[in-house]
Amino acid sequence: MTATREAARLALGTASALGLGRFAYGLLVPAMREDLRWTLAEAGAISTVNGLGYLAGAVVTAAVVRRWGTAAAFRWGMVVTALALAGTAASDVFGVLLAVRAVAGASGAVVFIAGGVIAARASARAGSSAPITVYFAGTGLGIVLSGVIVPGLAERWQVAWIGLGVAAGVAALICWRVAGTGEEPRPAGEVGRARVRPLWRIAVAYFLFSAGYIAYITFLSVYLADRHASVVEVVLTGTARGAAVVASPALWSRPITRWRGTRALALVLGVLAGGAALALVSPSPAVTIASVVAYGATFMAVPAAVTARIRTVVPPDGWTATLAAFTTLFAAGQTVGPWLAGLLADHTGVAAPLAWTAVLCAVAALLAAAPKPDTEIR
């Protein structure tokens, strides 16, 4: 099996952990908010606690990999994610929902990091970053599935969560075997150390990106509902965004692989900022579709570009620890972003989270564009 085909199977990991486990929630916010009588801040808190779980998962992933190995961490993380998604339907008590969404976030982080390491190994074997971009683009598969199925079931949000859990379980079965491809035996207790300080500009940009991008996808459906968008328009926007994520490797694999330094990362972040701002220009469905396509084609290219950069300049024994450290920053941004954007929206209007995304991603693009020597880190 070629490295790219392996990555295509592994991509079901990001489809499950992020596409279903995190981003499907944005489509269910209007129905859950109405049924459970939440404020926008409370709706944002559910996303925030998912981010806290993601943060916890990122912190412990290196230890999990050290104890059980990369393949086992990936596989069982997917199983826990599927169970947590289905478990979200079990109660309408706010505290229970917070707990279940935290578990989904923690397991999703383990899947995200472990799968990224497996994809990085495939990229090293292939001599190309294509497997990395394919792996992260798998998120789009989950978004497409969510965009097609969830709007029709949104009024019965418990049924929608059960369906998402079943889909995640099927994904775990499909990619179970390929997760072990290229597994490298490692002496007990040895994972390597994180290299973050030499990459501090990328780290700060990644944090700003994580705090910004999540607000767009969490509150876009609320923005559309406020404009009385039809179910057809909601389905089209979700499907278009997911399809754009799937197509992103065709756009970004070559720049990420061939451009030196962080130029590709800066360009991706700049396009993402512009795409988020575009939705504020006009209420036209065509403009909204253009916005979600630009967003979808770029937002998962950011972790792909960061992972490719880490693979290029960090020794292989430091990949897991460094990716875990960067994902911890990513999780921290995702944790505070939805809550702050929700508070801002409660005080200013439902368009505020889109502006939040545009501003933070623009600043991140400027940081990534700062010149930095392209040297290997030891």
Angstrom CA distances, 190 to 55, 64, 321, stand at 22, 12, 10
Residue-level pLDDT at 284:
84
- Find, among 276, 280, 285, 278, the residue nearest to 231 by Cα: 285
Q: How many CA atoms lie within 13 A of 270 on its CB side?
A: 11
CATH code for the domain of 351? 1.20.1250.20
Single-letter amino acid code for the residue at 210: S
198 contacts 377 by C-beta, under 8 angstroms: yes
Q: Is-contact 75 179, C-beta < 8 A?
A: yes
Residue (of 55, 52, 115, 49) closest to 88 by Cα position: 49
In a domain, 376, yes or no: no
Within a domain: 219: yes
| Greater model confidence, 155 or 233 | 233
**Is residue 20 within 8 Å of residue 45, measured between CB atoms?**
no
d(Cα 275, Cα 311) in Å, to the nearest integer?
28
198-237 burial, b at 16+ Cβ within 10 Å, e below that, comes to: bbebbbebbbbbbbbbbbbbbbbbbbbbeeebeeebbbbb
Q: pLDDT tens digits for 277-292?
A: 998 988 788 898 999 9
Does residue 190 carry a pLDDT above 50? no
Mean pLDDT on 325-333: 87
Q: Which tens digit of pLDDT belongs to each residue from 240-270?
A: 887 888 888 888 888 887 888 889 999 999 9
In a domain, 358, yes or no: yes
Domain that holds residue 187: 3-369
How far apart, in whole angstroms, are the C-alpha atoms of residue 7 and residue 122?
8
d(CA 323, CA 116): 8
The helix/strand/coil state of 218 is helix
| Band (342; pLDDT cuts 50, 70, 90) | confident
Structure tokens at 145: 């599935």
Smallest Cα–Cα separation from 219: which of 21, 22, 29?
29
pLDDT on residue 376: 47
**What pLDDT was estimated at residue 266?**
94
38 DSSP 8-state letter: -
Q: What angle do CA 119, 121, 125 make, to 5 degrees?
A: 115
- 41: its two tokens: 């801040």
Domain presence at residue 377? no
Task: Say what the pTM is.
Answer: 0.76
C-alpha closest to that of 309 among 349, 252, 363: 252
Tokens 């705090």 label which residue?
211
pLDDT at residue 131 is higher than 50: yes
Domains of the chain: total: 1
Please determine, for residue 169, whether its predicted confidence score (pLDDT) is greater than 80: yes
Confidence of residue 372 (pLDDT cuts 50, 70, 90): low
Of the listed ranges 67-81, 193-207, 355-369, the one predicted with least confidence: 193-207
- Inside any domain, residue 356: yes
Residue 126 banded pLDDT, cuts 50, 70, 90: confident
Q: Please report the pLDDT score of residue 187 as a whole number.
A: 44
Amino acid at 144: V
Q: Please give the Cα distance from 193 to 196 (Å, whole number).
A: 10
Percent of the chain with pLDDT over 90: 30
Q: Are 10 and 179 in contact (CB under 8 A)?
A: yes
Mean pLDDT for the chain overall? 85
What is the pLDDT at residue 191? 52
Q: Is residue 24 part of a domain?
A: yes
pLDDT at 334 over 80: no
| Residue 144 pLDDT grade (very low, low, confident, very high; cuts 50, 70, 90) | confident
Q: What proportion of the chain, given as a percentage, has pLDDT over 70? A: 94
